[in-house]
Structure 1
Amino acid sequence: MSVTTTCRDISELLPVAQTACRLLFQECYKAGIRDIFITETYRSQARQNYLYQQGRTRPGSIVTWTLTSRHTSRLAWDIAVAPPKSLYDVNTLNKVGAIARRLCITWGGDWPNNIDRPHFEVTPSWTMPKGYKLEGTVIVPTTSKLKVQLIVDDKETEKEETKMWDPKSPTMYTEAEKFIEQAVKDGIIQKQHLDDLKNKRMTTDRLLGLYITIQQRRNK
């Protein structure tokens, strides 16, 4: 990967950091904070060195003050805020930071020096605080075009096969898969929806809701 390329994939983080990140986004969703998205996860040491040089031996403003970062250890992630708010809206980031504290996730906004509000990280020994759990599938946006989502499976709905989307026509299934796959490629929805469709975890109501959402966003 080029040093100029930003990685936003949380699957590139260590499992402990993936869980912490999803929990943070889940709790933000529940608090009504749904306009945040990932801007960077894993960062190679070469990229860290490259960023450190900016504003020092390379033109530009200083963007990092260290050559050692938990990004390179796959234990940190950065976020931003979607329009119409400013990219690093302080009020929103402060709210996210307060939630991170409750989850024992280190927030760069709490650092006494070199405050970094968009930055969050954990240690390899981080564990989920008592009283918290991942309540469903957490959709963590990697673009400002998407919102944070929490998809909670209804156990009773899972038991009722009639509510799961199970088309009798193979052609209908293929067309639905193509439709969802294209929406993922266009950045309209997250890949998790496509995975759930392929793994037979898609309910009829959810598929209909996705169809309406996709059409509305394409017509904007």
Structure 2
Amino acid sequence: MTNVTTTCRDLSELLPVAQTACRLLFQECYKAGIRNVFVTETYRSQERQNYLYAQGRTRPGAIVTWTLNSNHKSRLAWDIAVGPPQSLYDVVTLNKVGAIARKLNITWGGDWLGNIDRPHFEVKPSWRIPAGYKLEGEVRVPSNSKMQVQLIVKEEKSMSNTWNPGSPAMQTAAEAFLVQAVKDGIIQASHLVDLQNKQMTTARLLGLYITIDERRSTK
């Protein structure tokens, strides 16, 4: 049996729709430069909800919830907090996250009338990613204040954007050009290695040509 005094911060305990919504929210926070937020609770059993509801009523302490029927127990809600250097429930930061949530059609407790709950976010089972948004990579959602939000996007490499010289002579000329640039200290040798291993994109090679030409012209 789960200890009613312990919070669950495991994102996998939420329904898939809520997991996706939470990850999208944290991704957009990351892109907005808000990276010191973290999850403090996801799923909450009815027993724990009863325990929290009793606080400030039949049990000592300040009131922390006004309901016995939370969407936490439906696995559709999560709470967050703010890491250093801000305070744990920094209003400015939570308001910024709340504004992002509105754009994503995620319900924010800060918009509720009467019982404002800024750390709280939830979705309905019918929630879908809004038009114009998508998960752009692996979103790492922190579960404590020592971690930061991360968005890991893997570079897509395909035959369509990988540089294809068309002839061995062009490949040789490109290699010679980069070899000299490496010797001149203009670029790192890793660029040459990628070209030789056919991991160089056309756009990247063009960018190197422009960079090398500009640096040589200023010498």
TM-score, with structure 1 as normaliser = 0.71
Q: Find the counterpart in structure 1 of residue 134 from structure 2.
A: 133
Q: Find the counterpart in structure 1 of residue 50 from structure 2.
A: 49
Q: Secondary structure at 2:151's aligned position in 1?
A: strand
Q: Find the counterpart in structure 2 of residue 63 from structure 1.
A: 64
Distance 1:39 1:150 in 2: 19
The number of aligned residues is 159
User: Over alpha carbons, which structure has the higher Rg?
Assistant: 2
Partner amino acid, structure 1, of 2:90 = D
Please show how residues 44-193 of structure 1 align to structure 2 within 5 Å.
44-156=45-157
Partner amino acid, structure 2, of 1:24 = L
Q: CA deviation at 1:77?
A: 0.2
Partner amino acid, structure 2, of 1:101 = R
Distance 2:129 2:34 in 1: 20
TM-score, with structure 2 as normaliser = 0.71
Unpaired stretches in structure 2, ≥5 consecutive residues: 163-219
Which deviations, in whole Å up to 9, do the C-alpha atoms of 1:102-143 show, x marking residues without a partner? 000000000011100000000001011001100000000001
Q: Find the counterpart in structure 1 of residue 184 from structure 2.
A: none
Q: Find the counterpart in structure 2 of residue 180 from structure 1.
A: none
Runs of 4+ in 1 over 3 A off after TM superposition: none
Distance 1:135 1:113 in 2: 36
Distance 2:61 2:92 in 1: 27
Q: Find the counterpart in structure 1 of residue 175 from structure 2.
A: none
- Once superposed, what is the RMSD of the aligned Cα atoms? 1.4
Q: CA deviation at 1:156?
A: 2.1
Which deviations, in whole Å up to 9, do the C-alpha atoms of 1:14-40 show, x marking residues without a partner? 000000000000000000000000000
Unpaired stretches in structure 1, ≥5 consecutive residues: 161-220
Distance 1:149 1:108 in 2: 24
Q: Secondary structure at 1:153's aligned position in 2?
A: coil
Q: Find the counterpart in structure 2 of residue 218 from structure 1.
A: none
Q: Find the counterpart in structure 2 of residue 21 from structure 1.
A: 22
Distance 2:137 2:102 in 1: 22
Distance 1:144 1:27 in 2: 19
